[in-house]
Amino acid sequence: MAKLMHISASPRNSDSESLAIAATFVDAYREAHPGDEIEHWDLWDGTLPAFGPTETDAKMTLVRGGTPTGEAHEAWEAVVAAFHRFDAADRLLFSVPMWNAGIPYVLKQFIDVVSQPGLLWGFDPQTGYLPLLQGKKAAVVYTSAVWAPGLPPAFGTDFQSTFFDDWLRWAGITDITAIRHHPTVLGDVEDSRQTATAAAREAAKTF
């Protein structure tokens, strides 16, 4: 039995295009894989730890070979717990709306929380970073309201998927399925939505 985790970065609930497309993916996945476990991690629900001064101090203490103590130790325990929650899934579904050409800040916070030495990555002075995640695959629902492929720079730039796909590969996840909904301002929203929904449904069947 495998586990699918849907990690959502949109706070718009029923008004969210990315969440609606992801919901179609989850429904199709459940139908195709009835024995698998499915978990939804809403990054806005308050369970994602902060990664501020205390957490940073704990991380750098570990990098220098020390052991965090006191408040830093407690903060680090929350970070490690968040990583293990994420790492417990074999298959990952991310719903990612475009915010200001990039990703929502809460998703960047998630990345900063789980991207820890000895957990998500290692390092070799001769060869560089070593991805530590093994055997995972990811599907990512990318949505935007203005930017779309082929439009001139005045409509924005895609730092959304370029950044996030790069992070997935850096972590060790190279099996990536992108599901896109980019109707832009004067585009056919319903046609784009239906195309993305159909793509999500098909991808989920063999995910």
pLDDT of the chain, 207 residues: tens digit per residue: 899 999 999 999 999 999 999 999 999 999 999 999 999 999 999 999 999 999 999 999 999 999 999 999 999 999 999 999 999 999 999 999 999 999 999 999 999 999 999 999 999 999 999 999 999 999 999 999 999 999 999 999 999 999 999 999 999 999 999 999 999 999 999 999 999 999 999 999 999
CB 183 within 8 A of CB 148: yes
Whole-angstrom distance, CA of residue 79 vs CA of residue 93: 21
Whole-angstrom distance, CA of residue 203 vs CA of residue 137: 12
Cβ contacts of 43 within 8 Å, gap of 6 or more: 7, 8, 9, 104, 106, 107, 109, 110
What CATH class has 3-205? alpha beta
Read off the pTM: 0.96
Q: What is the CA radius of gyration of the chain?
A: 18
The per-residue pLDDT for 54 is: 97
Give me the half-sphere count of Cα atoms (radius 13 Å) on the Cβ side of residue 182.
Answer: 20
The per-residue pLDDT for 148 is: 97
